Chain A
Amino acid sequence: MNCFMFPGQPLSHGTEWPDDPDFRAIADIVRRRAFFDLEGFSWIGTGSTDNVKLQVFGTAMSLYRFWILRRENTLPDFIAEHSMGIYPALAACGSLTEEEAIEMTFRVGVCLARMGETRSYALGCVVGLCREPLLAIAENHGVFMANYNTSRHFLLSGERPNMEEAMAEALATGAFSARTFPCDTPLHTPLVGEIDNELRGIFADYRYAEPRTRLVDHINQDCLSAADLGDFLREELQRPVYWEKTYRALRAAGVTGFVEVGEGDSLKKYNRWIDGEMRS
Chain B
Amino acid sequence: MAEELIEKVKQLIIDALRIEGMTPADIETDAPLFGEGLGLDSIDALQLVVAMEKEYGVVVPDAATGTKVFRSVRSMADHIAEHRK
Contacts and interface: CB of A to CB of B under 8 A. Distances in A.
In order of increasing CB-CB distance, the 4 nearest A-B pairs are A177-B42, A269-B43, A127-B42, A127-B46
Given A175-B63, A176-B63, A152 B18 contact: no
A171 interface: yes
Interface of B: 17-18, 41-47, 49-50, 60, 62-63, 66
A174 B62 CA distance: 6
A272 B20 CA distance: 13
Contacts of A276: 47, 50
Given A176-B66, A177-B63, A127 B43 contact: yes
Contacts of B47: 269, 272-273, 276
Interface string A205-237: 000000000000000000000000000000000
Contacts of A179: 42
Nearest to B67: A177
Contacts of B18: 272
B42 A176 contact: yes
B17 to A, nearest CB: 8
B43 A266 contact: yes
Contacts of B62: 174, 176
Interface string A245-280: 000000000000000000000100110110010000
A152 B49 CA distance: 12
Contact of B43 (A153, A174, A175, A178): A153
A125 B42 contact: yes
A273 B50 CA distance: 10
Contacts of A116: none
A176 B43 contact: no
Nearest to A277: B50
Contacts of B41: 269
A128 interface: yes
A98 to B, nearest CB: 30
21 contacts: A127-B45, A128-B49, A128-B63, A152-B46, A174-B62, A176-B46, A176-B49, A176-B60, A176-B66, A177-B42, A177-B45, A177-B46, A178-B63, A266-B43, A269-B41, A269-B44, A270-B43, A273-B43, A273-B46, A276-B47, A276-B50
Nearest to B17: A272
A64 B42 CA distance: 27
Given A176-B45, A269-B43, 13 more contacts: A127-B45, A128-B46, A174-B62, A176-B42, A176-B46, A176-B49, A176-B63, A176-B66, A177-B45, A177-B63, A178-B63, A276-B47, A276-B50
